[in-house]
Structure 1
Amino acid sequence: MGHFRGGLAHANVLASVIFAGMSGSAIADTGGLGAIELKAMKDGGYEEDFSLAVTGASSLIGPVIPPSVPLVLYGVTASVSIADLFDAGILPGILLGLVMIGINYIICKDKNIPVRKRASLVEIWRSFRLAFWSCLLVVIIRCGITMGWFTPTEAAVVAVAYALALSFAYKTMTIRMLPKALKEVLDICAGVLFLISTSTLFSWILTFTGIPQTVARALLSVSDSPLVIMLIISLILLVLGLFMDSTPAILIMTPILYPVITSMGIDPVLFGVILVLWLMVGLVTPPVGMVLFVLSSISGVSIGKISKAIVPYIVGCISIILLLIVYTCLMVSNPALPLLY
């Protein structure tokens, strides 16, 4: 991408697209790739706030393109096919990447960022050869699930085994480091499992008291238009994402909203992607934007400065969500429209 205007910024986005196929977490994307990308862009002469904005915004692609941790949580909570959710996240994720690349180009053209020399075929081949075995992880996960070789859960096991083998081969992991890595994984899993267990109890209480049905009736009394209902739900999710982390928000809101969207005939798979996208916007907006905090801790730049620079990308992300909402609502009245998964 070096010979395009804003090549490093575009490479930042594409790196997140590739990393999305390995991680499925916006925080992991920001923390894992962030430091490398920020240094490269700083060395390339890019302004720091712009570099941080691109890095933060592109990390939102991680939870959309499969495998996706938030989509798995939604699938488990709503009893929706995780394989279908993964397939449904591919197109929106790619569209997000393209929109961000377009925004990069406009900003870089305005700032007159210089264009680098086109990479030679030898340089491209050398880079591809070095990255091949790592990038193969994405292919293994996607092809394995799509071809029916293993379930999403089994794909996780295969991915961990493959990544662990690669880390030993590249000598980035040693036997001595393994216990610490396993402890970190157990800490994360314990927290997630605790959230799931408490949310399951919460879901049972909601069902027993009939709260989801009450919410459904209240929303349906406002309008019988799927578009209006989806816009109201979108506003709720956007506000919720500003103050709550995505994991508890998914686990709490899914059992409440699921009866509403199913009664309207809205595809629960596409709704899951829309729900995750709205909550991901909250990761890059104050006051509880976790991605902003990670970027600020990495760079030392204030959250306010990063927030201002990231606004164009938030607008682009919301545009994609609204487009997806309109298409999902059109599917209700016109079932002949092709599915996005």
Structure 2
Amino acid sequence: MSVLLVVVGVLALMLARVPVAFALAAPSMVYLVFSPGVTVGAALQRMTAGIDIFPLLAVPLFIFTGAAAMSAGITDRLFTAAEKTLDRIRGNLGYANVSSSLVFSWMSGAAIADVSALGRIQVSAMVKRGYSERFSVGLTGASALIGGIMPPSIPAIIFATTAGVSVGALFVAGIIPALLIFGVLCATVFIQVRREPDVPTDRVSTAEKLRALRAAVLPMGAPVIILGGILGGIFTPTEAAGVAVIYVLLLAALYRRLTVNRLYRMMLSTAETTAAIMLIVGAASLFGWVLTREEVPQQVAASLITVTDNPLVFLILVNIVMLIVGMVLEPTAAILVMAPVLLPVASAFGIDPLHLGVFMILNFMIGLLTPPIGLVIFVLSSVTRIPVPRVARGMIMVLLPLMVSLVLVTFVPALSMWLPGLLGYS
């Protein structure tokens, strides 16, 4: 009964639009005050321990990398290179949209960072060239989700530290699902441009293509360093984040975009985002400890096993639950709340933690495109000056292809598990 009151309290505070960190921490603290043998000091120690984990050091570093890449003009170079290279293909701006998001995802690690950096450029270019506003914002929001799946994924770091699995292994497990989303969105562009007869196909000269490609060569080195270094065993994901920061700052200096004012804004933005994430991590760690103390994960596992012993039915139920949770919680908080509960249940059904992590993250990424939270919707509205209702309507047309990706990732474990097994992670 006591833990039920805590959960009800958390939900009530969230519905009242109390910030997630405080909504998780306040009922947990009340529970501990009335629990014998537990002090408030122990609760604070638990919150501190939740963020005092070495792999989490990669989070601010990758956030800073994304901010520095945007300030250095790398996003413009990537989008221009993709647009010019694909000039002979009908719907080239749609493909350039998805391709530039894929490449930038190797530096940003988060969907919000992707849509913040590229959203204005992508939507503006597509609308000016005759694409419908609805399709432009929908594709931009959907392609930004690749940043939450493709390494260096910040949600993957959060899940790995919560589940006690290798960050590198989960990074590798997300590569093929991220490429699957890329392929599904390219197929969406192929179908949609045939419904929009006014979409032009502009030709550019070979010299112009070469200039655009030369401008993007050095920025493309960042993904090579991050992925190549991790997959090659040269350094850990945290060390890769540090190297990426140095590399992108060198590029900013080379492009004469590294000023004291810009550096200050990068550091301030990184500090604000990191503080918000870590506050949620600490509060969720305390909430998770309360659930564990009351043996909630074990009770949930026992309840689900009595409902069904079929892993496929379990996967369907879990996806439904996670899609609903993703609508009301942002991904970091959702992972920290759901992972401790679902891990033992998934283990009982023989589901690998890496597989669980990948489709859990994908579920919560889709939640970024759905009301009432829908952070990508609000950020995209902010950077494009398009009203929120119109941006939200644009997301409807991309939900089906994303759901197709989710079904494939959920029910074809090899998409997540083949590459880690090949590289010796599992």
Tell me which interval the TM-score lies in, with the shorter structure as reference length: over 0.9
SS of the residue 2:151 aligns to: coil
Q: Distance in 1 between matches of 2:103 and 2:241?
A: 17
Query: What is aligned with 2:374?
Result: 289
SS of the residue 2:174 aligns to: helix
Contact 2:111 2:144 in 1 (8 A): yes
SS of the residue 1:116 aligns to: coil
Query: What is aligned with 2:160?
Result: 75
SS of the residue 2:218 aligns to: helix
Query: What is aligned with 2:346?
Result: 261
Query: What is aligned with 1:12?
Result: 97
2:411 maps to 1:326:
yes
Q: Distance in 2 between matches of 1:189 and 1:291?
A: 18
Contact 1:242 1:289 in 2 (8 A): yes
Contact 1:13 1:58 in 2 (8 A): yes
Q: Distance in 1 between matches of 2:107 and 2:347?
A: 31
Q: Distance in 2 between matches of 1:175 and 1:300?
A: 29
Q: Distance in 1 between matches of 2:261 and 2:212?
A: 30
Superposition TM-score, scaled by structure 2 size: 0.75
Structure 2, unmatched stretches of 5+, are 1-85, 421-426
Structure 1, unmatched stretches of 5+, are 332-336
Contact 1:2 1:115 in 2 (8 A): no
2:135 maps to 1:50:
yes
- How many residues of Structure 1 are paired with residues of Structure 2 in the alignment? 335
2:396 maps to 1:311:
yes
| C-alpha displacement of 1:338 | 6.6
Q: Distance in 2 between matches of 1:177 and 1:114?
A: 37
Query: What is aligned with 1:339?
Result: 418
| C-alpha displacement of 1:120 | 4.6
Tell me the percent identity.
38
Aligned-partner residue type, residue 311 of structure 1: I
Q: Distance in 1 between matches of 2:263 and 2:385?
A: 31
Aligned-partner residue type, residue 70 of structure 1: P
Question: Of the two, which has the highest radius of gyration?
Answer: 2
**Map 1:1-341 → 2, pairs under 5 A:** 1-328=86-413, 339-341=418-420
Aligned-partner residue type, residue 314 of structure 1: L
| C-alpha displacement of 1:59 | 0.6
Contact 1:227 1:325 in 2 (8 A): no
| C-alpha displacement of 1:125 | 2.4
Contact 2:222 2:244 in 1 (8 A): yes
Q: Distance in 2 between matches of 1:36 and 1:305?
A: 18
My pick for the range that moved more, 244-253 or 307-316, is 307-316
SS of the residue 1:317 aligns to: helix
CA displacement 1:214-234 (0-9 Å, x = unmatched): 011111111111111111111
Aligned-partner residue type, residue 95 of structure 2: H
- C-alpha RMSD over aligned residues: 1.8
Aligned-partner residue type, residue 339 of structure 1: W
CA displacement 1:63-113 (0-9 Å, x = unmatched): 111110101100011011111111111111111111111111211111114
Q: Distance in 1 between matches of 2:283 and 2:388?
A: 32
